[in-house]
Structure 1
Amino acid sequence: MRRAAILLAGMTLAAMPAMIAAQAGDDPALNPLGLANDVKVLSPRDPSVRKATAIVNGTIITETDVDQRLALVLASSGGRIGDEERQRLRLQVLSNLIDETLQIQEAAANKITVDKAEVDQSFARAGAQFKRTPAQFTEMIRAMGSSPASLKRQIEGEMAWRRLLSREVEPFVSVSDEEVNQVIARMKASKGAPEYHVSEIFLSATPATDQQVLANAQRIVEQLRQGASFPAYARQYSEASTAAVGGDLGWVRAEQLPDALAAPLREMGPGQLAGPLPVGGGYSILAMVDKRQVLTTDPRDALVTLKQVTITFPANTAKEQAQPKLTAFTEDLKTLKGCGQVTEFAAKWQADVVDSDQIKIRDLPPQLQPLLVDMRIGEATPPFGGSEGGIHSLVLCGRDDPADKTVPSAEEVSSQMTDERVNMRARRYLRDIRRDAVIEYR
C-alpha cells in the first residue's frame, strides 16, 4: 500500500512536462523551459561516442569499476543479455556508480563513515545466504568476473546513505495519528478484497522520446521473459522510487493504481509479466509476485514439516526405459502410512531423503502449493521432476496452520507511512546532490 502512493506521485510528477507541452502548442511563452519551438541544434551529437568512465567531485570511477559491477548485474540475470542490451546496461551501471559515489561523499561531508569491519560483516552475511564462507564467497564473485571490492563498495554506499537519511531526513518526517487511523479504517473496510504483491519498472517519456522509451521498455520485457532478474533490471532502469528495492511495490489493491495498471493486474497470476503499459508520463512494466485477500487468512501461510524422497536414473536413460520404475514408484507412494515409514521406503527404492522443517507453503514452487494445502498428515505428493534432476515426492509430516489475520497495529502502519515519506525525500535529496556535483566523463 505504501509504495503504491509513491508510484502514483511519481507518475503525476513525470506527466507534468508532457501535459504542459501539449497545452503550450506553438507558444514559446508556455514552453516548460521557455524555449522557442523552432530551435536548431548547432553541433550534432555523435551517438557512437560512449563515455565509459567519470570523475565525480574528484573521485575516479574507472572502466574496471564499471566492468566489475556490471558482472554482478549480469550474474543476477543469468547472463542472458545481448551485446546491445549489455551496452545500455553498462551505461546505467555507470550512472548508478555515480549516484553511489555522491552518496558516500555526502555522508562523509556530514562526518558519517562506515568502518571496514562493518562492511566485512555485511559481506560475510551475504555469503552466508549462499552457504559460503567469506573466502568461498570471494571466489564465487571472482568467478563471475567481478571482485569482492566492488560488492563491498556497494555495501558501503548503501550503509552510508541509510545512516545519512536516518540523521538528516527521518527526524523531520512525521505521520499524524489521524492519518494512521484513516489508513486502518480503509483496511478494515476492504477486508476480503483481493490484494496483489507487485513489482514495477517505470520509464518516463515525453512526446519527443515516447517511441524510443517504448522500444527500450519492450527490450526490457523481452529480456525479463527470457529469464533476466526483475529486481536487477528495476534497480538499473526504473525511474520510480521503488528502484532501490528492486521495484517492489509491496502489497497493493488494484483500485490504488491507475486504470492502465489496475486492469491487467486483475488478470495476472503469480510469476506473470504485463507491459509495457502506457501510463501518465511514460511506461510501466509489472510483475506479479503473489496475491491474497486483505485481512484474510491464507492457508499457504501454514508452516509444514516435510521429508523429500528422491530417486534418480542413470545418465541418458530414455523416457521409455524410466517409465516402468516411475509407475511402480508412484503406486508405492500411495501405500505410505506416515513419515515413520519413509526410511524403510527410501531403502527399498535406494532413494535419498532430505528433512525440511518449518517451511512456509507459499515459499514452495507454485505447482506444489495447492497439493500441500489439501494434503493430510502422512500423505505424499505425486512424483514430480525439475531442473535439478531426479524424481521427487514430498511427504507431509506436520503442519502449523496460520493464525487469523488481524489489522496491523498503529505503530506498524505509522512505520510504513514514515518509510514512504523518507523514501520520497531521499529521492529529492539525491536529486539536489546530483545538481550540485561536478562530473567529468572520460
Structure 2
Amino acid sequence: MQRLTIILFVLFGLAASLLPVVSTAQQQQPQDLQRIVALVNDEVISVRDLIERTRVIMVTGNLPDTPEVRRAVRDQAMRSMIDERLEMQEAKKRGISVPQADVDSAVARLEEQNHIPAGRFEDFTARAGIDASAIIDQIRTELTWVRMVRSRLSATTVVTDEEIDEAIAKLKASVGQTEDLLSEILIPVDSPDQEEPQRQTALKIIEQLHKGASFPALARQFSRGTTAAAGGDMGWVTRGILPEEVETVVSKMQKGELSPPIRTIGGYQIILLRERRRIALPGVEDTKVTLKQILLPLAANASPSDIQTTVGLANTVRTGIRSCDDVEPLAAQLKAPGSGSLGTLRLGDLPENFQQAISPLKVNETSQPVVAARAVHLFTLCGKTEPNAFDRNQIRQRLMVRKAEQLSQRYLQDLRRDATIEFR
C-alpha cells in the first residue's frame, strides 16, 4: 500500500562500507541525539530518529556516502517519518492495531527473502549497522495502515458486476496490442514551493540508479506511489492505462531503459521499462464454436480464374445470409454437397486459416470466403462458448486493490492537510 515493507539488499560484507554513515551518529553528543527536529501533532521526531532512518535508506539503497546524497536522503527520511507518525496517530484514534504475530510473520518473510537464518534478523541488522527496532517499527506501521485502509474500504466500497464486465471487455480488446512490464518511483509535489526541490530529488535518484543503486530499494524508501511497498513494481501495463504524459514517454522507451522525471498530477514519476510483449488472449484455442457452412467445390486442377469465379459466387451468396437459419435453404438452392451444420467444434482443432476467418465473427455473422484445396468455404457462426480465461473473483480483487490504493493516497493527503507539523 505505502512505501514498505523493507527488503534488505545488504550482505554482511557491506557493513564495512557503512562506517561513515554509522559514524555520523557516533559523532553526535547524547544530548544532541535527543534534540527535537520536528513535531507532528505534538509527537516528537528526534535527531536520533532522523539519523537512524537515514542509515536504513542508505543501506537498503546501497547509496554512496556523500554529503549530497546524505542531504537528499535526510529530506526523504523526514518525510517518511512524518507520514508514519500521521498514520499511527490515525490508527490509534480509530482503535486499529495489528497482532505481534503479524509483525513476527513479516520479519520471518524478510529473513527468508534475504537468506538470513531464522530468528537471526536482529543479529543481521546489527552487523549492517542498523537498529532492528527501526525497521520493525516501519513494518508495524505498514501493516497497521493497510489494515486501517482496508477497514475503511470494506465499509464504503464495492466492486460491481458492471465494473468487472468492463474490465474483462478491456482485457479482450487489448489482445494483439503491446503491454509493458514497468516499475515506478513517484516523488510527490504537494505544493508549488516543492516543485524544484522534488525535481532535483528525482534527478539525484536517477543518477544513483544509473550508478547501480537498487531500483526496488529506492522505490520502497523514496516513492510515494501506491506500488512502493512492492519495490515500485507496476506489473504488466497495457497501452491506454497510463496518464497521457507517461504514456508518451514509455512508448518511446526501449527494454531496460530508465525514463527522465515525468511531471504528472501527483509529482515527478520515474519509470523503468523492464520488458515488453504482445498480448495474447489466454485459452482462445479452447473456444467452442457452433458452425454452419456453405461449401462451393473446386476442381482438383482449378485455374486461378476458376477459383476467382467461385470466390465471387461465394461473396454473392454471403450477402444473402443474415442468420444461421438462412444457410440450409441457400445450400439447397445451390445444390452444394457438404454444406449445412458442422456442429460444435473446438476452435484450436480447425486449420489455421479457418481459425482466422472464424475468430472475429459474432453470432449469426458469416466469414469472408476461405479458399481451401478443393473448395471455397463460407462459415456462419451460430454459437460461441469462450473458456473461462478471466477469473471474475481475481479481477474483483484487483479492482478492490486499485480502489484501496486510491483511497490510501487520498487518506494520507487528508491527514497531511489537517496536521500541525512544526520543524525545529
- Mark yes or no: TM-score above 0.5: yes
Decide whether the 8 Å contact of 1:123 with 1:134 is kept in 2.
no
**Residue 390 of structure 2 aligns with which residue?**
408
**After the TM superposition, which residues 90-169 of structure 1 pair with which residues of structure 2 at under 5 Å, given as runs?**
90-169=74-153
**Residue 256 of structure 1 aligns with which residue?**
241
Larger radius of gyration: 2
Q: How far off its partner does 1:69 sit?
A: 2.2
Secondary structure (helix, strand or coil) at the match of 2:180 reads: strand
Change (3 A) 1:210 1:167: closer
**Residue 403 of structure 2 aligns with which residue?**
421
User: CA offsets, 1:305-334, max 9 Å, x none?
Assistant: xxxxxxxxxxxxxxxxxxxxxxxxxxxxxx
**Residue 188 of structure 1 aligns with which residue?**
172
Amino acid of the structure 2 residue aligned with 1:427: Q
Secondary structure (helix, strand or coil) at the match of 1:256 reads: coil
**Residue 29 of structure 1 aligns with which residue?**
none
**Distance (Å, rounded) in 2 between the aligned partners of 1:61 and 1:220:** 25
Change (3 A) 1:97 1:283: closer
**Distance (Å, rounded) in 2 between the aligned partners of 1:264 and 1:440:** 38
Q: How far off its partner does 1:190 sit?
A: 1.4
**Distance (Å, rounded) in 1 between the aligned partners of 2:43 and 2:263:** 39
**Residue 431 of structure 1 aligns with which residue?**
413
Amino acid of the structure 1 residue aligned with 2:256: G
**Distance (Å, rounded) in 1 between the aligned partners of 2:277 and 2:46:** 46
Secondary structure (helix, strand or coil) at the match of 2:227 reads: helix
**Distance (Å, rounded) in 2 between the aligned partners of 1:406 and 1:272:** 36
**Distance (Å, rounded) in 2 between the aligned partners of 1:103 and 1:86:** 25
| 2:419 matches 1:441 | no
User: CA offsets, 1:315-356, max 9 Å, x none?
Assistant: xxxxxxxxxxxxxxxxxxxxxxxxxxxxxxxxxxxxxxxxxx
**Distance (Å, rounded) in 2 between the aligned partners of 1:138 and 1:90:** 24
**Residue 329 of structure 2 aligns with which residue?**
none
**Residue 208 of structure 2 aligns with which residue?**
223
Identify which of 176, 191, 197 aligns with 2:181.
Answer: 197
**Residue 63 of structure 1 aligns with which residue?**
47
**Distance (Å, rounded) in 1 between the aligned partners of 2:416 and 2:192:** 25
Q: How far off its partner does 1:269 sit?
A: 4.0
Q: How far off its partner does 1:282 sit?
A: 5.0
**Distance (Å, rounded) in 1 between the aligned partners of 2:242 and 2:105:** 39
**Distance (Å, rounded) in 1 between the aligned partners of 2:268 and 2:413:** 21
**Distance (Å, rounded) in 1 between the aligned partners of 2:412 and 2:277:** 35
**Distance (Å, rounded) in 1 between the aligned partners of 2:169 and 2:97:** 42
Amino acid of the structure 1 residue aligned with 2:420: V
Secondary structure (helix, strand or coil) at the match of 1:113 reads: coil
**Distance (Å, rounded) in 1 between the aligned partners of 2:120 and 2:207:** 34
Decide whether the 8 Å contact of 2:63 with 2:208 is kept in 1.
no
User: CA offsets, 1:123-168, max 9 Å, x none?
Assistant: 1221122222355321221222211101110111011111112222
Decide whether the 8 Å contact of 2:180 with 2:236 is kept in 1.
yes
Decide whether the 8 Å contact of 1:231 with 1:247 is kept in 2.
yes
Q: How far off its partner does 1:91 sit?
A: 1.7
Q: Which runs of 5+ in 1 are unaligned?
A: 1-50, 298-404
Decide whether the 8 Å contact of 1:180 with 1:413 is kept in 2.
yes
Length, aligned pairs only: 286
| 2:37 matches 1:53 | yes
| 2:147 matches 1:170 | no
**Distance (Å, rounded) in 1 between the aligned partners of 2:195 and 2:419:** 29
Q: How far off its partner does 1:432 sit?
A: 2.2
**Residue 247 of structure 1 aligns with which residue?**
232
**Distance (Å, rounded) in 1 between the aligned partners of 2:85 and 2:278:** 42
Q: How far off its partner does 1:213 sit?
A: 4.2
Amino acid of the structure 2 residue aligned with 1:187: L
**Distance (Å, rounded) in 1 between the aligned partners of 2:141 and 2:192:** 35
**Distance (Å, rounded) in 2 between the aligned partners of 1:155 and 1:218:** 28
User: CA offsets, 1:170-221, max 9 Å, x none?
Assistant: 3311121112111111211211322111112334568876555443332221
| 2:257 matches 1:275 | no
**Residue 87 of structure 1 aligns with which residue?**
71
State TM-score, norm by structure 1: 0.58
Change (3 A) 1:130 1:239: closer
Secondary structure (helix, strand or coil) at the match of 1:169 reads: helix
Change (3 A) 1:281 1:121: closer
**Residue 62 of structure 2 aligns with which residue?**
78
Decide whether the 8 Å contact of 2:39 with 2:423 is kept in 1.
yes
**Distance (Å, rounded) in 1 between the aligned partners of 2:194 and 2:417:** 22
Secondary structure (helix, strand or coil) at the match of 2:143 reads: helix
Change (3 A) 1:217 1:125: closer
CA RMSD of aligned residues (A): 2.9
Change (3 A) 1:247 1:75: same
- The alignment-based identity, stated in percent, is 33
Q: How far off its partner does 1:169 sit?
A: 2.4
Q: How far off its partner does 1:273 sit?
A: 0.7
Q: Which runs of 5+ in 2 are unaligned?
A: 1-34, 283-386
